[in-house]
Amino acid sequence: MTLFLNILFAWASMILAGLLAVIIVMRIVNKYAFKNKKNIIYKINRYLRKIHKSMGVAIIVTGFYHGLFSSDAILSINYGTAVWVLTIILAATWIFKAQLKKIKNWMYWHRVIAAIFVIVLVIHVIDVGGFIGVPNAYSLGFNPLPQATLAPIEEIEALIEDTGVVYKNGEYIGVANGYGPDLTVKVVIENQLISSVEVVSHNEDRPMYYQMPMEKLPIDIIKSQSPIVDTVSGATYTSYGIINATIDALSQAILSGEIEEKIDVEEEHSKPEGEKGGGKGQGKNH
């Protein structure tokens, strides 16, 4: 849900930014290509100029909510915040244009700020990994993954017999590094089985990368009763962080047997593709 709202407000902001920027472009085109004739470009541009202030207010609001639902704090040092601050500066120069007209060429500087806004916006889009479509965001945000049901008891008993690992009931906290530091999971052991794996805190970057492994891997761990599961393509570091944090938690719960060793992430990434452990997901190094 959060990711969907984040992307939805991002697209609303992008559309508004495009409409605001095209006003200047259309004005220049009509001036130099059509000698300010009252053609369709002139009419569209005139209409957009009438709602210029309303669109400016709207982009501040949509930008605020986009930041609210993003993985970064609104008032933090990042390109998204820089874009939002620039929209406020642009709005201020427009609102107080009567006072600023005393300054020579104030409109020139308004347009310079607008140009900087567009450049920083492009950098921001590139920095977050490019565009993600609203349908994909809806799919990630609303299509539930399968419920984390346990495997048949016979299979679990066989797994315990094969590994020789027996866990003590309780809740355990494990920490490891993913794409960012200190990815923390809580593992619950009931009836000596892994019944719950939950990421309780993290410093990962960009929901479009980390959300899927955080939803999928706990389910896979519970089903397999093992922390060694397939990673998610495009989010290998986050996947390894969840796996290693789970191993860290389970190491505190052992009554007998030996737990798997933590995965050396750098070593895994240095292996040839066919030799990498953990399974399928060896996409982008995130």
The pair of three-digit structure tokens given for residue 175, joined into one six-digit string? 């920490």
186 secondary structure, DSSP code: E
- Cα distances (angstroms) measured from residue 26 to each of 44, 52, 132, 214: 9, 14, 28, 45
Q: Are residues 119 and 156 in the same domain?
A: no
The pair of three-digit structure tokens given for residue 239, joined into one six-digit string? 């996947």
For residue 186, tell me if it sits in a domain: yes
Q: Are residues 175 and 236 in the same domain?
A: yes
Rounded Cα distance between 240 and 268, Å, is 10
Q: Are residues 173 and 97 in the same domain?
A: no
Q: What is the pLDDT of residue 155?
A: 60
Domain boundary among 137, 165, 191: 137
What's the structural domain count of the chain? Answer: 2
Cβ-based burial of 11 (10 A; exposed 0-12, middle 13-18, buried ≥19): middle
The pair of three-digit structure tokens given for residue 263, joined into one six-digit string? 């995965």
| Domain containing residue 191: CATH number | 3.90.1010.20
Q: Are residues 248 and 177 in the same domain?
A: yes
Q: Are residues 133 and 167 in the same domain?
A: no
233 secondary structure, DSSP code: T
> Measuring CA to CA, which residue among 161, 197, 205 is closest to residue 179?
205
Rounded Cα distance between 18 and 177, Å, is 39
Contact (Cβ atoms closer than 8 angstroms) between residue 197 and residue 187: yes
Tens of each residue's pLDDT in the chain, 286 residues: 666 777 888 889 999 998 888 887 887 887 778 777 777 888 888 888 888 888 889 999 999 988 887 766 667 788 889 999 999 998 888 778 777 777 767 778 888 898 899 999 999 888 776 766 656 555 555 554 444 445 555 665 565 556 667 899 999 999 999 999 999 999 999 988 889 999 999 988 877 788 889 989 999 998 888 899 999 888 899 999 999 999 999 999 998 877 778 887 766 655 554 444 444 333 444 5
Q: Are residues 213 and 158 in the same domain?
A: yes
Q: Are residues 82 and 102 in the same domain?
A: yes
For residue 142, tell me if it sits in a domain: no
Contact (Cβ atoms closer than 8 angstroms) between residue 109 and residue 71: no
What is the full DSSP assignment across 72-140?
S-TTSSSHHHHHHHHHHHHHHHHHTHHHHTTSTTHHHHHHHHHHHHHHHHHHHHHHTTS---HHHHHHH
Q: Are residues 263 and 233 in the same domain?
A: yes
Q: Are residues 72 and 158 in the same domain?
A: no
Q: What is the pLDDT of residue 51?
A: 87
Give the residue numbers spanning the domain of 39: 2-137
For residue 284, tell me if it sits in a domain: no
> Measuring CA to CA, which residue among 240, 250, 227 is closest to residue 176?
240
For residue 128, tell me if it sits in a domain: yes
**Residue entry with tokens 């299509």:** 143
> Measuring CA to CA, which residue among 243, 164, 227 is closest to residue 194?
227
